[in-house]
């Protein structure tokens, strides 16, 4: 089938490449000529494990272009996979989606199914259909469908090739017939519903996972007060099949491109209809507070960061991606710098993106060892394997003061007790095995 995909970010590009893997002829459209040039050379403009290899494998079925008119005019199916960032008030910015819809309306020359894969507020597909039909240049039939993505950054290729489910929201049978053909080689449960239900499935799924993360973080905070261990608590909870063990890792909150904006967008939409979602609002509030958990923990050792050498391990919001959106480092590092700290940071893939925000204020290091050298305190913000596998004895050997404040619970406390350091984590006891004197 001849498919075009609007947008080449995490949703659009991954969708296009995976559809090509399933033997569709795919044209990916982007307005950025530099990105298109990279992709034509088989280079992915985003860091996502396995994506570039899959691109190279399917280059004979992939085309990349900025010429949207040519890409859309005779496509059987057009997927919209552009971003829907949040506005200042928390609502979703749909300008990119509507912009693509207008381009499609002015370009298509045959009957076509338009598939909205971007995460959009409930009812948006109806508005897109009205917009496209009002601006059609040619006499063609247009069918608009919702087919939300359920990928996670770092595992996006696997999640798309082997999805937990495929959701199709349609108002006409023609659209469902075409999309069933598009997805026929995907081995996954297929749910066909109306468009508003499909849109809600996406928001409800993401917001439920955000609720789960915020819940376990609140329990972790209480565990610290009463002397319980959050990892034992989560283990005991996770064996209950009604709860499950995923998204029960306590830490410093969720980040990324989905959970923060989707919780705010659904909360905004509910408020717009005078129906506050109290649980979603609570999840948002808990998450914002949780991001500052490490700073608060550090205050028992330092009233001020002035003149301190601070080591930061991990810059991205989670491992497996170079994405910084809503990363806790974006909240914490400015506080350190404003307080007068000297910050050194390490991340295996996120440095270049972080440099765009802090080009000169931070010293960026190539190794964990260089980052820790002569540091007064170390903050762990991302649970990269390199951090989890790091030799704990090096902390006391390299740091001026071996104080490690871990926001991702990277280390087993039994190991920590043998390592000659002070270790703070989330929802667990503080370990002080340091035998020296803090300077």
Check residue 43 and report its DSSP letter. Answer: -
Compute how many other C-beta atoms are within 10 angstroms of the C-beta atom of residue 366: 10
The backbone region for 323, taken as left when phi is positive above 0, alpha when psi lies in -120 to 50, beta otherwise, is beta
Cβ atoms of residues 181 and 19 within 8 Å = no
For 324, what's the count of Cα atoms within 13 Å in the CB-facing half-sphere? 18
Determine what percent of the chain falls in helix, strand and coil, rounding each to the nearest 5.
40, 15, 45
> Hey, which residues are catalytic here?
258
* Closest by CA position to 68, among listed 52, 51, 57, 80: 80
Q: What tokens appear for 220 in the block?
A: 């972790």
Check residue 377 and report its DSSP letter. Answer: E
Cβ atoms of residues 402 and 434 within 8 Å = yes
Cβ atoms of residues 404 and 311 within 8 Å = no
Cα dist from 229 to 190, 222, 241, 387, 388, whole Å: 40, 10, 21, 22, 19
Distance CA 367, CA 197 (A): 48
Decide: residue 35, CB within 10 A, 0-12 exposed, 13-18 middle, 19+ buried. buried
Q: How far is CA 377 from the centre of its chain?
A: 28
* Closest by CA position to 317, among listed 222, 234, 253, 410: 253
Distance CA 69, CA 109 (A): 10
Cβ atoms of residues 439 and 400 within 8 Å = yes
The backbone region for 282, taken as left when phi is positive above 0, alpha when psi lies in -120 to 50, beta otherwise, is alpha
Distance CA 246, CA 257 (A): 19
């Amino acid at each position: 089938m001849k498919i075009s995909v609007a947008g080449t970010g995490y949703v659009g590009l991954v969708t296009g490449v995976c559809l090509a893997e399933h033997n569709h002829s795919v044209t990916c459209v982007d307005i950025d000529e530099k990105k298109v040039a990279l992709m034509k050379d088989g280079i992915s403009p985003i860091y996502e494990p396995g994506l570039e290899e899959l691109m190279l494998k399917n280059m004979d079925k992939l085309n990349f272009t900025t010429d949207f008119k040519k890409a859309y005019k005779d496509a059987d199916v057009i997927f919209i996979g552009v971003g829907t960032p949040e506005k200042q008030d928390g609502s979703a910015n749909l300008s990119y989606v509507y912009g693509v819809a207008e381009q499609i309306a002015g370009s298509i020359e045959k009957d076509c199914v338009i598939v909205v894969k971007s995460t959009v507020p409930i009812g948006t597909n109806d508005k897109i259909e009205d917009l496209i039909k009002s601006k059609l240049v040619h006499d063609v039939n247009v069918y608009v469908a919702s087919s939300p993505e359920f990928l996670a950054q770092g595992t996006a290729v696997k999640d798309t090739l082997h999805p937990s489910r495929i959701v199709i929201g349609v108002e006409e049978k023609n659209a469902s017939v075409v999309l069933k053909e598009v997805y026929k080689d995907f081995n996954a449960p297929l749910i066909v519903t109306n468009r508003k239900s499909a849109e809600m499935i996406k928001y409800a799924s993401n917001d439920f996972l955000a609720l789960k993360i915020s819940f376990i973080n609140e329990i972790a905070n209480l565990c610290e007060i009463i002397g319980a261990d959050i990892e034992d608590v989560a283990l005991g909870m996770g064996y209950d099949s009604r709860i499950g063990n995923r998204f029960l890792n306590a830490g410093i909150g969720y980040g990324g491109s989905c959970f923060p904006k989707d919780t705010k967008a659904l909360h905004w939409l509910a408020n717009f209809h005078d129906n506050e979602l109290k649980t979603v609002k609570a999840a948002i509030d808990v998450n914002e507070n949780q991001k500052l958990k490490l700073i608060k923990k550090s205050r028992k050792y330092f009233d001020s960061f002035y003149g301190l050498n601070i080591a930061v391990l991990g810059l991205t919001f989670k491992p497996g991606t170079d994405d910084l959106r809503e990363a806790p480092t974006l909240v914490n590092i400015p506080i350190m710098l404003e307080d007068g700290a000297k910050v050194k940071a390490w991340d295996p893939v996120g440095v270049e993106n972080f440099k765009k925000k802090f080009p000169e204020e931070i010293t960026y290091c190539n190794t964990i060892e260089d980052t820790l050298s002569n540091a007064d305190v170390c903050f762990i913000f991302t649970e990269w394997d390199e951090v989890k596998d790091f030799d704990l004895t090096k902390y006391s050997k390299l740091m001026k003061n071996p104080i490690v404040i871990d926001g991702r619970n990277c280390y087993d406390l039994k190991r920590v007790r043998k390592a000659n350091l002070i270790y703070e984590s989330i929802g667990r006891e503080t370990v002080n095995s340091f035998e020296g004197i803090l300077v």
